[in-house]
Structure 1
Amino acid sequence: MSDQNFQIFLSCLPGLEPVLAEEARALGLADPVAVAGGVEISGGWRDVWRANLWLRGASRVLVRIGEFRAMHLAQLDKRARKFPWGDFLRADVAIKVEAVCARSKIYHQGAAAQRVERAIAETLGAPIDPAATLRLMVRIEDDLVTLSLDSSGEGLHKRGHKLATGKAPLRETMAALFLRQMGYDGTQPVLDPMCGSGTFVIEAAEIAAGLAPGRTRGFAFEQFASFNAGAWDKMRASPSRLPPLQFFGFDRDQGAVRNSQQNAERAGVAACTQFICQPLGALMRPDTPPGLVMVNPPYGARISSPKLLYGLYASLGEVLKTQMKGWRVGLVTSDRKLAHVTGLNLTPGPLLPHGGLKVQLFQSGPL
C-alpha cells in the first residue's frame, strides 16, 4: 500500500468543528485544524481508514487526491485525461462525479462533471453510474480544479447497528460530540430519562466499551485501488472491554424502550445498558456515582401544544433537581425559553442545524 500523504477533510455539523478537532487529536490524527464545516488533517490511507472506523463525530471523510488549473472545458478535458486515475480507482468499480464551480471561467457544473466522467471512462475504463456508491467530487474555484474522493460512502452517523428509530431521532455523530462537550470520557454513568431509540445511552456505552463506531459497516474506501483487505481486517479487529452496568434509558413509550433494547443488543452493549418503560415522574437516582443526564426532550413541531411543552420541561427540571443531585445535565432543545422553564442553571452551546431546526446543547454544573 502506498505511503502517499493527502489532505484529508473530516466534515461535521457547522458549530461543532472545534469539538471534532479535539476528538481527532485524541485519536492521534496529525495536526487537526478546525475550519468551516469540518476539520483538516494530513495523512495516508491508514489515517483515512482510522478516521472512518474510529471518529464518532465526523459525518464523512473526504480525501483530496489532486489538483490542477483549468481555464476552459478543453483544458479540463486534457488535464483530466493525464491524471493517474488508476492510482486511486479500479476499472471494475462504478463511480459518479459531482462538480461545483465558483468564481471560475468554467461555470457549467454539468459540463465539467461530464468532461471528468469521460476522462475516467476512456482512460481507466471504469463505468460511470449516477447511482454508484463511489463518489468523486470536483471543485473548480478561481480556476483551480480540486479532486476529492468520498472515502465513507454512507454518512458516518449510520453505524450499522441502530435499525430501530423513533420520531426526530438524534444522529449518533451529534450525540457523540455532545457527550464530548460534556467532558464524557467513558468512565461516568449516563442516564437519559426520555431515551427514544437510545442514542445517548448506547453511544456512551460503546465509548466505555472501547468499541469502534464503524466496526459493523462497510466503507467506500474498500473499493479504492489502494485498499488492502488484510491490513484493514487487522485494524478493525481491535479489543474491547465490558464496562459496568451504568448506562440507563427510560421512556414512557414501550415501543421506544423495545427499540432501544434491540439497538443495544445489535451494538453489543446490552450487558452494560438498561432500558425501562416508565413516565418521567417515576425517575429515581440509580445506585451509581453521579454522572451525566443527557436528554433530548420533544420540542418544535414534535409537539403541537406549547402549554404541554412548558409543563413537560418544568416537570423535567423538578424531577432532576429532586432525584439527581450531584449529576450534571446536558439538555438538547431548539427553544431557549423551554430550557429556562426547567429552572436549572444551564449554559447554552452553539446553534446547530437539526431536522430543519436549530438546536443547542444546554449544560449544567453538578445539581
Structure 2
Amino acid sequence: MTHHPDFEIFLATAPGLEPTLAEEVGLKAFKRPKPVPGGVITRGTWPDVWRANLWIRGATRILARLDAFHVTHLAHLDARARRTPWAEILRPDTPFRVEATCHKSRIYHSSAAAERIATAIHATTGAPHDPDAEVTVMARIDHDLCTLSIDTSGEPLHKRGFKAEVNAAPLRETLAALFLRQCGFDGSEPVLDPMCGSGTFVIEAAEIAARLNPGRARHFAFERLATFDVEAWARLREPKPRPTPTTRFHGADRDAGAVAMSRANAERAGVAAITEFHQAPISEARPPEGPPGLVITNPPYGTRLGEAKSLAPLYQALGRTLATHFKGWRVGLVAADPKLAHATGLPFLPSGPPVPHGGLRVTLFRTATLA
C-alpha cells in the first residue's frame, strides 16, 4: 500500500502457544513480534508476508491487516469499506470471498456484513465474488471495531505439501514444530519418537536441522494478489547451499504400516538421508549410537470412555523403558489425559496450558534431563 510502507501482519496459532510462536518469529528477524490472543502480531511489508509463509513453522495461517475502522450500522460499513484501497491488493480478474465474524457489536449479523463488504470490493475492483475462491478477505467486527485482513496463506500452513499419507489422528506439523521448540530443540541434537505414527515429529525435527523452509513445496494465496512479485518470490525461494546435518532423527512404531508411511513421507520431504525408521514395540526402544538428545512422542489418547484404562499399561511401559535406558535424554510427551501422562512415572516439569488439537485439548509434558 503506497501510503503505508508497512502494515500489521498477524500469524495465527493454537491458543496457549502464542509465546512460543513469538519466540520463533523473533528469531527469524521480524520486527518486534508480540503475542496476542490467538497468535502473534508483527509489522512488515509484502515481502515479509511472503517470507513468513515460507519460513515460519508454528503459524497456522498468516493474515495481512488492510484496514480498521469503527462502524455501527450496515450502511456505514458499506460506505467505509469502499474507502479501503482494494484495487492495490486484489486483482480484477481473480475471484475472492469474504468471511465475517461479529462479536459484541451493533452490527451482529455476520453474513449481512460479509455481503456489504463483498459488494464494496466488487464495486471498487470489478473482481468477481465466489464463495469457493482461494483469496479470502477476513472481516472481524469486535466491539464495533471492524478489522479487514486478507488470508495470505490459502490452505492452512500445516499442509506442507509433502505428506500424502497420514494415519488416524496425525499431529499437525505446526503443532509439532512448536512442541519441539518448547522442549528446547534447535536442530543440533538427535530426536527419537518411539511411537512415530506417520513420522511428523521425526520429519519436522530433521527439516529444522537441515534448515529446510516449511513452505518450500507449496502454493500460497498471496501469489494471486496484485501485490505479488514473481521475481522477488523466486529469489526468496532459491534453496541456499547448507551442510548436511551430522545428527540423525529416529522413529519407531510397532505397526509396519506406520513405519512404511513415515519412510515415504520422509522421502517426499527430502530428509530420508538423515532419518531412520524401524518396527519395534515401545518396550524395545533404545537410544541410538551417539550423544543423548530428545525423546518426543504423541501416544494414543484413549478418548473414548473406558479406553484410558486399557492404555495405562502402554504409558507405564513407556515410562519404565525411558527411565531405564534413556538417562541423559529429555522427554516430551503429548497427552490428552494427565492421568495417563503421570502413569509413566516420569518426573515432569510444570506444564503449560492445554492446547486445542483435533477436537481435544492436549498438553505437552516435559522432563529435564533424566538422571
Q: Alpha-carbon deviation of 1:105?
A: 2.8
- Matching residue's letter, 1:47: D
Q: Alpha-carbon deviation of 1:280?
A: 1.4
Q: Within 2, Cα distance between the matches of 1:175 and 1:115?
A: 39
The answer to which of 22-31 and 118-127 deviates more is 118-127
Query: Is the CA contact (8 Å cut-off) linking 1:245 and 1:273 kept in structure 2?
Result: no
Q: 2:280 corresponds to which residue?
A: 278
Counterparts of 1:121-132 in structure 2, within 5 Å, are 121-132=122-133
Q: Secondary structure at 2:332's aligned position in 1?
A: strand
Query: Is the CA contact (8 Å cut-off) linking 1:252 and 1:278 kept in structure 2?
Result: yes
1:294-320 Cα deviation digits (max 9, x unpaired): 011111327953343111111111111
Q: Within 1, Cα distance between the matches of 2:304 and 2:264?
A: 24
Q: 1:350 corresponds to which residue?
A: 353
Q: 2:323 corresponds to which residue?
A: 321
Query: Is the CA contact (8 Å cut-off) linking 1:210 and 1:241 kept in structure 2?
Result: no
Q: Secondary structure at 1:346's aligned position in 2?
A: coil
Percent sequence identity over matched residues? 57
Q: Within 1, Cα distance between the matches of 2:366 and 2:78?
A: 53
Q: Within 2, Cα distance between the matches of 1:288 and 1:257?
A: 23
Counterparts of 1:143-182 in structure 2, within 5 Å, are 143-182=144-183
The answer to which of 162-171 and 301-310 deviates more is 301-310
Which sections of structure 1, spanning at least 5 residues, go unmatched? none
Q: 1:340 corresponds to which residue?
A: 342
Q: Within 2, Cα distance between the matches of 1:337 and 1:262?
A: 34
Q: Within 1, Cα distance between the matches of 2:63 and 2:128?
A: 21
Match of 1:308 among 288, 293, 310: 310
Query: Is the CA contact (8 Å cut-off) linking 2:66 and 2:84 kept in structure 1?
Result: no
- Matching residue's letter, 1:45: W
Q: 2:268 corresponds to which residue?
A: 266
Q: 2:189 corresponds to which residue?
A: 188
Q: Within 2, Cα distance between the matches of 1:297 and 1:20?
A: 24
Q: 1:20 corresponds to which residue?
A: 21
2:219 maps to 1:218? yes
Aligned length: 367
Q: Alpha-carbon deviation of 1:238?
A: 3.0
Q: 2:300 corresponds to which residue?
A: 298
- Pairwise CA RMSD: 1.6
- Matching residue's letter, 2:206: A
1:155-192 Cα deviation digits (max 9, x unpaired): 11111101111121111111100110111110000000
- Could you state the TM-score of these two structures normalised by the residue count of structure 1? 0.96
The answer to which of 342-351 and 64-73 deviates more is 64-73
Match of 2:251 among 249, 252, 258: 249
Query: Is the CA contact (8 Å cut-off) linking 1:331 and 1:362 kept in structure 2?
Result: yes
Q: Secondary structure at 1:281's aligned position in 2?
A: helix
Q: Within 2, Cα distance between the matches of 1:58 and 1:111?
A: 30
- Could you state the TM-score of these two structures normalised by the residue count of structure 2? 0.95
- Matching residue's letter, 1:24: V
Q: 2:367 corresponds to which residue?
A: 364
